[in-house]
Amino acid sequence: GAAVEADISGLKPGEKMTVEWRGKPVWIVRRTKEQLDGLKKLDAQVADPKSERKPSELTPEYARNEFRSIKPEYLVAVGICSHLGCSPSDKFVAGAQPSLPDDWQGGFLCPCHGSTFDMAGRVFKNKPAPDNLEVPPHMYLSDTKLLIG
Ligand code: FES
């Protein structure tokens, strides 16, 4: 399928936008400093902290870092759960929320069978989803323009 351009100039810290690529939702999340700091505390709680599983399918080389991204601020990920394909919902706010742990740092919750993902799309341990969310191939055309695909 064709590559898709995304204009991220209007995306504020803590916001997410979705573009469609090959019929899939691709999320672009502009993470806050707090959200980036929160990721560093979670390595022991996520199943594949360094994105070593299925690297060629799930994480391009340029995103195999602690933030799973080219620029730390922006997460680009396919919004489809690696379990049975539902679309997880945003749970960006830290702190207690129903069905999430008290020390929740923000991330995504799959409504189908309860898999949880952090703000880098890394799946938490002991959840039905086996893998992190896919980071699609992408590049920056400028500071405010992304090319996905
Ligand atoms: Fe997401 Fe099952 S489809 S947990």
> Which of 80, 89, 113 best tests ligand 1's pocket when mutated (most atoms within 8 Å of CB)?
113
Per-residue pLDDT of the chain (149 residues; tens, 9 = 90+): 589 999 999 999 999 999 999 999 999 999 999 999 999 899 999 999 999 999 999 999 999 998 999 999 999 999 999 999 999 999 998 776 788 888 888 999 999 999 999 999 999 999 999 999 999 999 999 999 999 99
Question: Is residue 149 within 8 Å of 136, Cβ to Cβ?
Answer: yes
Ligand 1 centroid, distance to 87 Cα (angstroms): 8
Question: Which pLDDT belongs to residue 105?
Answer: 86
Distance CA 117, CA 77 (A): 11
Assess whether the C-beta atom of 133 lies below 6 angstroms from ligand 1.
Answer: no
Distance CA 50, CA 122 (A): 9
The ipTM is 0.99
Beta carbons within 8 Å of 53's beta carbon, 6+ residues apart: 131, 132
- Amino acid occupying residue 136: P
Cβ contacts of 137-143, under 8 Å, gap ≥ 24: 137/60, 138/60, 138/70, 138/76, 139/70, 140/70, 140/71, 141/5
Q: What is the pLDDT of residues 23-35, one digit of tens each?
A: 999 999 999 999 9
> How many other CB atoms sit within 10 Å of the CB of residue 134?
20
pTM beyond 0.90: the answer is yes
Ligand 1 centroid, distance to 22 Cα (angstroms): 21
Distance CA 136, CA 41 (A): 25
Question: Is residue 13 within 8 Å of 30, Cβ to Cβ?
Answer: yes
- Mapped onto helix, strand or coil, the DSSP state of residue 116 is strand
Q: What is the chain's length?
A: 149
Ligand 1 centroid, distance to 116 Cα (angstroms): 9
- Nearest atom in ligand 1 to 85's CA: 3
Sheet holding 89-91, edge to edge: 89-91, 107-109, 116-118
